[in-house]
Amino acid sequence: IIGKRAALEMFPGAVVNLGVGAPELVSDVVMREGVSEQIHFTIEHGPIGGIPAYGLNFGAALNPDVIMEVPALLDFYNGGGLDIACLGLLEADRWGNVNASKFSESRTAGGFIDISQNAQNIIFCTTFTQGAEINIESGKVKVVKDGSPKFVSAVAQITFNGKNAAAKGQPVLFVTERAVFKLGKDGLILVEIAPGIDLEQDVLQKMGFRPIISPDLREMPLVIFSDSGTIGLKRAFDAK
């Protein structure tokens, strides 16, 4: 679901970075849609072009156009070369601040500051809660067992500053399996909800804060919950 919804934000010719975790599946969706030659994927390990691998093979790519040295690729990111950055996260707060680096008091990991600061668009791809179990039945999402909140009152460490992003007008989207948020000047705005999901019980009560609810709140595109196959990305690309 997350990969399909994020893939709907792609456009022909886009230069896209994929982070580890849920964002990895965007390349799989794009490949299955038959538009992989129209998207230029990059991975911070060096590959540009081709189809990025995922899972335990993350960091490699099938048939890349070029493999660059990492410092040179980071210069490209810092220079604003990315049209879209699809990134994961550990937790986010009401202002769109993201923690993607601090796991606990004693465990930290390298962040994605170079990738995120100057990307033209950012899509954070994440499960809504940690460890949840969901089913899709007749095109509707059902929460079988919920997990611990990822949208919290305050993040443990700010790896991405939402207020700064909003102030400079950087478009930021948070895509989950049950809701989609966009970043506004006053914080996170709930703009889409999955079919079958109860707004109060499955979304608002599972957050550490109450987001702004868009007056135009709508359902996430039904096509991403269907088993019919394509989500229509090739048709959309051809129309452009």
- Mean residue pLDDT of the chain comes to 93
Find out whether 20 and 88 touch, Cβ atoms under 8 Å.
yes
Find out whether 99 and 156 touch, Cβ atoms under 8 Å.
yes
List, in order, residues 6 or more apart from 114 with CB less than 8 Å away.
44, 74, 77, 78
pTM: 0.95
Find out whether 119 and 17 touch, Cβ atoms under 8 Å.
yes
At position 169, the amino acid (one-letter code) is: G
Percent of the chain with pLDDT over 90: 85
Tell me the per-residue pLDDT of 32-64, one tens digit each, with 9 for 90 and over.
999 999 999 999 999 999 999 888 898 899 999
What would the two tokens of residue 55 be? 């899972």
Q: Which of the four pLDDT bands, split at 50, 70 and 90, describes residue 75?
A: very high
Tell me the per-residue pLDDT of 137-170, one tens digit each, with 9 for 90 and over.
999 999 999 999 999 999 999 999 999 999 999 9
Task: Please give the pLDDT value at position 68.
Answer: 94
CA-wise closest residue to 196 among 174, 230, 220: 220
List Cα–Cα distances, 201 to 164, 196, 198, 235, in angstroms.
31, 11, 5, 36
User: Which residues are identified as catalytic?
Assistant: 44
Residue 227 has pLDDT above 90, yes or no: no
